[in-house]
């Protein structure tokens, strides 16, 4: 029977910057003393090819010698180091695998003699110095949901990052549209309807508009009138747009329904008789509900831009800079990554709607005004779960008992 598996909440992964001076000041005294202990004992660390013989040395020290996740042979781009005592016997080993701009700590182990000399600490310290002037920015020491192992990781984490692997039983509801149940309001107020119409006239700078129940019905109207369909939801305030276009209100405001056709006015009689798309009750309902956000459209936009800045801060750890679109109201946080195909699949698994253009290798994740910092952290944590190579490991149900 399989054991309990967690990894379904946001934890903190540990990153180790490749800056020896900063690292030495950061790590606690027992770690520095362990490094000195190995050095005083004459421990020598050598870079090896990672051939089957080298792997076998590591396997002999690993908690599960039959671990199917252990590599059989390293590639030229991957790294392995073995630590030897002053008698020339191997006492520790480490494998680091490149993932973008960082090195993933795939394996780190020491035998009984090595553990007495704190050889794992010494190996990590050696790697910090070995890679300090390379193209890599840091070592991803990783994350563990086992307390004792995580305590070791934390000692070597000069910074941390959010990470999650598995979908929680009760999912966090995050979508591209800003609506959620907290914003549901079934009441209708005539004053609110009138105020919304007046504010729309201001925002649209006097351009004509027609309310449609949804964007699908709007597209049918365009086709019926022989007008080329054009959605421009995120630039709807741009006065330079003079041809008819559609605004999907659910993409901008916290409403369940509604679209506007801008630069085209259709009277209620034609909307019903010709297009069968008249719904005055829904119009009044939506106009009442969207008023507050419409009056503070600049605040709504600023919140979306703030969320983009938060994403930039997180993704900068991976040398990723968001792709800016020509949008007045930002629709999403767009970026390109070698891992976007897997990230998109993982977002689907977590039930998070997003844009994904496979041809451009470009993904867009939610930034709307009803997200807060924890939501942004959650979305990045899912990405970090994809980057973590152990997310693809086979669970062996082999556990190390606490002593």
In 3D, which of 298, 311, 300 has the Cα closest to residue 370? 300
Can you tell me the distance from the alpha carbon of 304 to that of 28, in angstroms, rounded to the nearest whole number? 40
DSSP codes, 15-42: EEES-HHHHHHHS-HHHHHHHHHHHHTT
pLDDT of residue 402: 47
pLDDT of residue 398: 59
Residue boundaries of the structural domains of the chain: 11-165, 181-295, 298-387
In Å, what is the CA distance from 347 to each residue of 144, 170, 234, 374? 22, 15, 23, 16
- Tell me the CATH number for domain 11-165: 3.40.630.30
pLDDT of residue 395: 60
Instruction: For the sheet with 209-212, list strands across it.
Output: 209-212, 259-262, 245-248
- Classify burial at 237, counting beta carbons within 10 Å of its beta carbon; exposed 0-12, middle 13-18, buried 19 or more: middle
Length of the chain: 403
Alpha-carbon torsion (373, 379, 381, 384), positive or negative = negative
In 3D, which of 131, 125, 132 has the Cα closest to residue 155? 125
In 3D, which of 201, 213, 265 has the Cα closest to residue 237? 201
DSSP 8-state symbol, 281: H
How confident is the prediction along the chain (403 residues), in pLDDT tens digits per residue?
467 778 999 999 999 999 999 999 999 999 999 999 999 999 999 999 999 999 999 999 998 888 888 999 999 999 999 999 999 999 999 999 999 999 999 999 999 999 999 999 999 999 999 999 999 999 999 999 889 999 999 999 999 999 999 999 999 999 999 998 777 777 788 888 999 999 999 999 999 999 999 999 999 999 999 999 999 999 999 999 999 999 999 999 999 999 999 999 999 999 999 999 999 999 999 999 999 999 999 999 999 999 999 999 999 999 999 999 999 999 999 999 999 999 999 999 999 999 999 999 999 999 999 999 999 999 999 999 999 998 776 565 555 554 4
Phi and psi at residue 79, to the nearest 5°:
-130, 140
Helices (H), 190-230: 190-203, 215-225
**Residue pointed to by tokens 């020509």:** 326
**CATH number 2.60.220.30 given to 298-387:** no
Q: Are 323 and 362 in contact (CB under 8 A)?
A: yes
Can you tell me the distance from the alpha carbon of 84 to that of 13, in angstroms, rounded to the nearest whole number? 29
Helices (H), 296-388: 297-315, 340-349, 373-387
- Biggest CA pair distance of the chain: 95
- Classify burial at 73, counting beta carbons within 10 Å of its beta carbon; exposed 0-12, middle 13-18, buried 19 or more: exposed
In 3D, which of 101, 102, 92 has the Cα closest to residue 48? 92
Q: Are 346 and 166 in contact (CB under 8 A)?
A: no
Left, alpha or beta for 34 (phi > 0: left; psi -120 to 50: alpha)? alpha
In this chain, the answer to whether the domains covering 11-165 and 298-387 adopt an identical fold is no
Q: In whole angstroms, what separates CA 123 from the centre of its chain?
A: 30
In Å, what is the CA distance from 321 to each residue of 115, 139, 224, 344? 41, 20, 42, 18
Residue 214 in tokens: 């949804």
pLDDT of residue 4: 77
């Amino acid at each position: 029977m399989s054991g309990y598996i967690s990894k379904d909440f946001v934890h903190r992964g540990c990153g180790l910057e490749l800056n020896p001076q900063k690292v030495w000041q950061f790590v606690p005294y027992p770690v520095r003393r362990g490094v000195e202990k190995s050095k005083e004992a004459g421990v020598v660390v050598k870079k090896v090819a990672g051939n089957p013989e080298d792997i076998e040395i590591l396997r002999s020290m690993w908690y599960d010698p039959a671990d199917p996740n252990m590599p059989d042979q390293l590639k030229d781009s991957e790294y392995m180091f073995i630590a030897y005592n002053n008698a020339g016997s191997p006492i520790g080993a480490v494998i680091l695998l490149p993932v973008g701009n960082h090195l993933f700590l795939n394996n780190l182990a020491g035998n009984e003699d090595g553990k007495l000399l704190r050889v794992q600490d010494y190996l990590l310290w050696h790697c910090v110095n070995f890679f300090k002037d390379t193209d890599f920015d840091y070592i991803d020491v990783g994350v563990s949901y086992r307390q004792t192992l995580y305590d070791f990781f934390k000692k070597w984490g000069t910074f941390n990052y959010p990470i999650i692997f598995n979908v929680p039983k009760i999912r966090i509801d995050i979508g591209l549209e800003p609506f959620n149940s907290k914003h549901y309001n079934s009441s209708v107020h005539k004053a609110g309807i009138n105020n919304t119409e007046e504010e729309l006239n201001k925002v649209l700078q006097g351009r004509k508009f027609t309310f449609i129940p949804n964007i699908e019905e709007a597209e049918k109207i365009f086709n019926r009138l022989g007008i080329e369909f054009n959605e421009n939801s995120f630039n709807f305030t741009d006065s330079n747009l003079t041809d008819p276009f559609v605004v999907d209100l659910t993409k901008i405001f916290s409403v369940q329904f509604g679209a506007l056709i801008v630069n085209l006015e259709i009277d209620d009689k034609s909307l019903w008789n010709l297009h069968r798309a008249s719904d005055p009750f829904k119009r009044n309902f939506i106009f009442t509900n969207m008023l507050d956000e419409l009056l503070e459209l600049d605040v709504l936009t600023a919140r979306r831009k703030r969320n983009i800045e938060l994403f930039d801060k997180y993704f900068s750890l991976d040398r990723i800079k968001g792709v800016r679109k020509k949008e007045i109201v930002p629709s999403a946080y767009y970026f390109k990554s070698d891992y976007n195909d897997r990230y998109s699949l993982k977002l689907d698994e977590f039930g998070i709607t997003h844009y994904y253009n496979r041809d451009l290798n470009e993904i867009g994740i939610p930034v709307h005004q009803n997200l807060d910092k924890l939501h942004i952290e959650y979305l990045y944590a899912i990405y970090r779960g994809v980057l973590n190579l152990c997310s693809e490991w086979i669970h062996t149900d082999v556990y190390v008992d606490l002593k």
